Amino acid sequence: MVQAQSAQRACMQAEMDAEADVNKVLWIAAGFFLGLLGVGAAYVLEPDPPASNLLGKSPEYVAVYTDCYKRKGKSVQVKNAVIGCVLGNLLYVGAYACCLFGTCATAGAAGSTY
């Protein structure tokens, strides 16, 4: 019972630390500029917890903390890369639609008087 509570506390702490440590702007930018490659990178790359968070802890604590940190960190990375990918694609589609139906189309039509 005590070990289960200790493991639960370690996992909760790891999740909070991973949420705070993962560079969200980096992963949004990766998704925005790299598209699905950025999302794939976010899924493949696992963040490692800082060693300072594990100093003086028991091996069981370190194992639980590391697993939870990596799982939560990867989740945060993927979520933010997907957000960036969606934003990038929306911007691309919007710019394409603007050129097709908006100012680009009217400017081209106005400039071609024969």
Chain segment 25-68, per-residue pLDDT in tens: 999 999 999 999 999 999 999 999 999 999 999 999 999 999 99
Residue 92: CB atoms within 10 Å: 11
pLDDT score of 101: 87
Reported confidence tier of residue 104, pLDDT bands at 50, 70, 90: low
On the CB side of 105, CA atoms within 13 Å amount to 8
Q: What is the dihedral of CA 96, 100, 102, 103, to 10 degrees?
A: 90
The CA distance from 74 to 95, in Å, is 31
Reported confidence tier of residue 106, pLDDT bands at 50, 70, 90: low
Predicted confidence (pLDDT) at residue 85 exceeds the cutoff of 80: yes
Tokens, residue 48: 């490692």
Mean pLDDT of 98-110: 70
The CA distance from 51 to 34, in Å, is 30
